[in-house]
Structure 1
Amino acid sequence: MRMPLPPDDEMIRLVRRFVVPEWGRRKRYLKLLGGFLGLPDPEAIGFGRSLARDARRITDYDLGALLEGEWRARLTAAWLIALDRRVGFRDRLTDLLLESEVVYAGAGYCVALARFAEAEDAGVLSAYLDRYLPQVEKRYDQEDALGALLVVDEQLGTDHAGRFLTPGGLWETFTTDDVSADICRRDMEERISFAESAMNGTLPQWAARRDRQWIR
């Protein structure tokens, strides 16, 4: 795992450029954990536009380097991949998600797979849930993965998530009472809507119609 410390000047440069720019007195990677959803409209719009600019500009080489880093770098890289729908990174994201080597980054991988929204992505997310839902002691990215799978199902007209949601099934035995599959789906839908709007220039419209439960 590469750290943004000497002598790795390349990683230091990439982290400074893409991972830790401050926005509203908080660094970008912290916003990507979900805080951007609660920003006032002007700040959320500005944050999305900045993210979209970098998603278009960053090279595949630099994204690959960030995915070798610690969780902050990986989370940011996954979001940039998601926004620009760089499906060529699917295999790498699959390996990272299934390994679950570091905290938090998996949420970004799930956003990317939901944004790709192809049959292969449903297979990856299902494989993750098959592996980690039975491990109730490991609270990793199961909620994000289920939400992403539900979003992909909706896009494809499939029902890969259905087998996890049967009464007494894997989701019921894993989840807590206050986290429903519907909450997971709506959370992921909001993130994907934000990503799409950032890339197609409709962030003001997204802000006007977004789920106001996130606004604090």
Structure 2
Amino acid sequence: MPFQHPAEIGYGHVVERYVTRTYGGLPRYLVLNGGRFLGPRWWHTTRFTRHLLNDAAAITDEELEALLGYEWRSRLTAAWLIGVDRRERFRERIGDLLLASEVCFSGSAYCFALARFGTHADAEILTAYLDHYLPRTDLRYDQPAALGALLRLDAHLGTHHADRSTQPDGLWDQWVNALAHVRDHPAYAPAELRRWTDLQCDFANAWTRT
């Protein structure tokens, strides 16, 4: 499906309102992608988070669809808003976008949203993604984010979907070892990928409770 600017369908305001609003000189999509709001020293975390929670609650489904139909910055932001507000009615849409992998960067946000939904259906989507893309050792897409999200869901659901990927010399080891720039990098250890997903979800959980 071709990308469509939100203005073409009557939602010209959504990019400026939800995607490019700045915090410390950085647009929201870049802050979300970089994760600096998850650290303890970023001065703008409180304002950034308050606005993120408010927008996640206020944005309409139609506005979210307008963002999901556009480019990676808009899709990344929409997926974060969907995940923060746990709008599970977007599960199928998010799953389709993740499996299609049409654009860069946004896939990690889809994985966050699925981890936040937290159900067996979400684990199945992530498993299907890994089954499809881990054998493609020539591609570096969102395999790390998907594995981290699946490991979190396995822990919460008492399932073992990730086991067949993470077993010694399994699909995960094969994928990592085929890519020289990630081989032996500690950030790609399954436990570290799970920790990063936990950090994202625990951040959202803590703020939504307060």
Question: TM-score normalized by structure 1?
Answer: 0.88
Give the Cα–Cα distance (whole angstroms) in 2 for the partners of residues 104 and 67 of structure 1. Answer: 13
Q: Could you say which residue in structure 2 is the equivalent of 1:28? A: 28
Is 2:184 aligned against 1:177? yes
* In 2, Cα distance between equivalents of 1:143 and 1:118: 19
Distance in 2 separating the partners of 1:182 and 1:166: 13
Q: Which residue of structure 2 lines up, in the alignment, with residue 123 of structure 1?
A: 124
Letter in 1 for 2:51: S
| Alignment-derived partner of residue 201 in structure 2 | 192
CA–CA distance in structure 2, aligned partners of residues 58 and 64 of structure 1: 10
Secondary structure of the structure 1 residue equivalent to 2:168: coil
Distance (Å, rounded) in 2 between the aligned partners of 1:66 and 1:170: 33
Cα deviation, 1:170-207, whole Å, max 9, x if unaligned, reads 00011221120011000111011111122222xxxxxx
Match of 2:179 in 1: none
Task: Provide the residue aligned with 2:41 in structure 1.
Answer: 40
Per the TM alignment, residue 47 of structure 1 is displaced from its structure 2 partner at its CA by 1.3
RMSD across aligned positions (CA): 1.4
**1:165 to 2:166 alignment:** yes
| 1:124 shift after superposition | 0.2
Question: Structure 1 residues 25, 9: CA separation in 2 closer, same or farther (over 3 Å shift)?
Answer: farther
Residues 86-165 of structure 1: pairs in structure 2 closer than 5 A: 86-165=87-166
Residue 8 of structure 1 aligns to which amino acid in structure 2?
E
Instruction: Count residues with an aligned counterpart.
Output: 199
Q: Which amino acid aligns with 1:139?
A: R
Q: CA deviation at 1:46?
A: 2.2
Contact 2:53 2:208 in 1 (8 A): yes
Q: What whole-Å deviation, never above 9, does each CA across 1:75-100 have from its counterpart, x for those lacking one? A: 00000000000000000001000000
Choose between structure 1 and 2 for higher RCO, CA contacts under 8 A separated by at least 6 residues: 1
- Residue 24 of structure 1 contacts residue 43 of structure 1 at CA under 8 Å; is this kept in 2? yes
**Superposition TM-score, scaled by structure 2 size:** 0.90
Gaps of 5+ in 1: 202-216
Aligned residue for 1:214?
none
One-letter amino acid of the structure 2 residue matched with residue 141 of structure 1: D
Q: In 1, Cα distance between the equivalents of 2:120 and 2:62?
A: 26
2 CA distance for matches of 1:58 and 1:99?
25
Retained in 2: the 8 A contact 1:55–1:84? yes
